[in-house]
């Protein structure tokens, strides 16, 4: 073979030749998320993507690496988060035209978080740097601009026993483990290295086998309080129609007064059509139906011209014993960034109230539920933020998620939201009670097991004994700091190793 032919044989491929397969691999990686849960396929796709990045991790191909990382992310987020179009079709005549722009914009924007580490690793000439840098970019995605940690790389472990490591490593530690394992496997394939392949196998066994050992055993629930989750199944385009409101209210009332009487009743997010200050009569009727046991209901409230997405605890006689205001709001869904920019094109119609939408509450806090104990309320997508759960002022006895997943449609969104609620239970070693408007309502134990559920699109209720809390987890003590330090240490060690090895090969 001539020198010219050899150079062509070893030259990294052009950008456009890798973008299409990288996009396809990203879509395959999305199959690891709910409702597909094909985590072995997803891990294989991640191995292939890292193998592609390894081929072009040279400074001259930094732009190609960035496009390859971006294409992988675009394919992943486009398939994994296609549910983002659903809210725009609730009022299709007003906002339906925005749906494709929302999907394309979200996928393209989030993919930048995956393009950056690919570019930086190639620019440094060390493909191994992509592992800590990619993990760091995922951690940043959970915090930057209020954060959006939906569909983290580490959630590839969620359907597998490896999810139990979240109790120690947290979600970002799971991301680092997934990237480390697949990078070892990609390197083993590229280098035909038995040693690296063995390392990847050992790490896989540790994640899966160790996860089985970490999972807390089911507790004895024979003497535990019974909780009731009420699911009215009110589709979002029907939820506020005046002629249908009585029907949805009666569904919830029938579920609430069903015998035998539980020890706690949970209604979903915005389960009532009126403001808290105007709900006194409804509260009295609801409390009587519940037998004067604590009843937690989601609804809106107004104070000083500001509107809040809230949860109220009702006691005997319908007395309001406590109120929590949601503090982590959905951009463009619950409040409008730069509302003045959009007020003339009806985008603000997506916000629940007023031009600027809801106001944020002061932050995480606990609700006293009597014999049930102290509960940390999480309204809607607050359950996808592990740092918010860790931000509770004290360790609760139970996590309570009131949500209205009718906004997410009837396919992947509600299942992914449930999967992330399971991760919060594992991370904290706490039971999770999840009351969802259209589903999926569920009782989840500290090991992430779904002990009882009401399927998507079904009205009714479920009663189940409240699971016991497990021992406090390592992650609940430390939060994301150990994962951050591990990423920084690995990035520094990899960079130093690259510098040393590059010095050795110089003449």
CA dihedral 349, 355, 357, 358 (to 10 degrees): -150
Quick check: helix, strand or coil at residue 216? coil
Q: Which long-range contacts (CB under 8 A, 24 or more apart) does 247-255 make?
A: 249/273, 249/282, 251/459, 252/286, 253/285, 253/286, 253/289, 255/228, 255/230, 255/231, 255/459, 255/460, 255/461
Calpha distance 303→297 (Å, rounded)? 18
Burial profile 447-470: b = 16 or more Cβ within 10 angstroms, e = fewer:
bbbbbebbebeebbbbbbbbbbbb
Question: Exactly one of 86, 269, 382, 427 is catalytic; which is it?
Answer: 269
Question: Exactly one of 86, 326, 382, 453 is catalytic; which is it?
Answer: 326
Judge whether 319 and 284 are in contact, CB under 8 Å.
no
Bridging pattern class, strands 320-325 and 306-314? antiparallel
Calpha distance 291→376 (Å, rounded)? 23
Question: Exactly one of 86, 239, 380, 382 is catalytic; which is it?
Answer: 380
Q: What is the largest CA-CA distance in the chain?
A: 90
Which residue from 329, 209, 350, 223 is spatially nearest to 269, judged by alpha carbons?
A: 329
CA dihedral 329, 331, 332, 338 (to 10 degrees): 110
Q: Which long-range contacts (CB under 8 A, 24 or more apart) does 184-189 make?
A: 185/47, 186/47, 186/48, 186/50, 186/51, 186/54, 187/54, 187/128, 189/47, 189/51
Q: What angle do CA 493, 496, 501 make, to 5 degrees?
A: 120
326 is catalytic: yes
Which residue from 30, 28, 32 is spatially nearest to 160, judged by alpha carbons?
A: 32
Q: Which two tokens stand for residue 460?
A: 């009714």
From start to end of 10-164, where are the E strands?
none
Calpha distance 471→277 (Å, rounded)? 40
Within a 10 A sphere around the Cβ of 210, how many other Cβ atoms? 15
Calpha distance 307→402 (Å, rounded)? 18
Calpha distance 443→264 (Å, rounded)? 13
Residues 6+ apart with CB under 8 A from 63: 15, 119
C-alpha distances in Å from residue 151, one per residue of 14, 30, 128, 139, 443: 29, 9, 23, 12, 22
380 is catalytic: yes
239 is catalytic: no
| Terminal-residue alpha carbon distance, the chain | 25
Within a 10 A sphere around the Cβ of 501, how many other Cβ atoms? 10
Instruction: Return the active site residues.
Output: 269, 326, 380
């Amino acid at each position: 073979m001539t020198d010219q032919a050899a150079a062509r044989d070893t030259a990294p491929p052009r950008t456009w030749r890798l973008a299409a397969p990288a996009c396809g691999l990203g879509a395959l990686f999305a199959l690891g998320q709910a409702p597909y849960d094909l985590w072995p396929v997803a891990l294989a796709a991640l191995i292939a993507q890292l193998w592609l990045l390894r081929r072009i991790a040279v400074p001259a191909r930094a732009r190609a690496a960035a496009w390859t990382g971006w294409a992988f992310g675009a394919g992943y987020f486009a398939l994994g988060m296609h549910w983002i179009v659903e809210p725009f079709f609730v009022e299709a005549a007003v906002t339906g035209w925005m749906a494709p722009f929302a999907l394309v914009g979200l996928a393209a924007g989030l993919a930048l978080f995956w393009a950056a580490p690919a570019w930086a690793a190639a620019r440094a000439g060390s493909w191994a740097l992509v592992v800590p840098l990619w993990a760091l970019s995922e951690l940043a995605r959970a915090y930057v601009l209020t954060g959006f940690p939906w569909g983290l790389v580490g959630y590839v472990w969620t359907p597998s026993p490896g999810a139990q490591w979240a109790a120690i490593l947290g979600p970002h530690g799971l991301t680092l483990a997934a990237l480390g394992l697949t990078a070892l496997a990609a390197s083993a394939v590229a280098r035909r290295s038995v040693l690296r392949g063995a390392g990847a196998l050992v790490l896989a066994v540790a994640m899966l086998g160790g996860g089985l050992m970490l999972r807390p055993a089911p507790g004895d629930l024979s003497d535990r309080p019974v909780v009731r989750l009420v699911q009215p199944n009110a589709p979002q385009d029907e939820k506020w129609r005046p002629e249908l409101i009585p029907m949805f209210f009666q569904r919830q009332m029938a579920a609430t007064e069903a015998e035998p009487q539980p020890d706690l009743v949970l209604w979903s997010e915005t389960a009532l059509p009126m403001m808290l200050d105007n709900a006194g009569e409804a509260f009295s009727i609801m409390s009587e139906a519940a037998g004067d046991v604590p009843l937690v209901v989601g609804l809106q409230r107004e104070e000083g011209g500001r509107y809040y997405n809230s949860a109220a605890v009702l006691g005997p006689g319908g007395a309001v014993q406590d109120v929590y205001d949601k503090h982590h709001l959905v951009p463009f869904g619950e409040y409008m960034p730069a509302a003045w920019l959009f007020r003339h094109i009806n985008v603000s119609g997506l916000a629940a109230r007023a031009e600027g939408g809801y106001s944020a509450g002061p932050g995480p806090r606990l609700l006293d539920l009597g014999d049930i104990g102290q509960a940390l309320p999480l309204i809607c997508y607050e359950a996808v933020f592990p740092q918010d759960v860790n931000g509770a002022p004290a360790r609760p006895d139970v996590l309570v998620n009131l949500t209205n997943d009718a906004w997410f449609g009837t396919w992947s969104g509600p299942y992914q939201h449930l999967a992330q609620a399971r991760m919060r239970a594992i991370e904290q070693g706490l039971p999770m009670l999840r009351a969802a408007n259209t589903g999926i309502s569920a009782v989840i134990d500290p090991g992430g097991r779904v002990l009882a559920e009401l399927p998507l699109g079904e009205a009714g209720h479920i009663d189940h004994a409240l699971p016991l809390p497990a021992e406090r987890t390592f992650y609940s003590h430390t939060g994301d700091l150990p994962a951050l330090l591990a990423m920084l240490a690995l990035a520094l060690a990899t960079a130093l190793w690259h510098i040393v090895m590059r010095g050795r090969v110089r003449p």
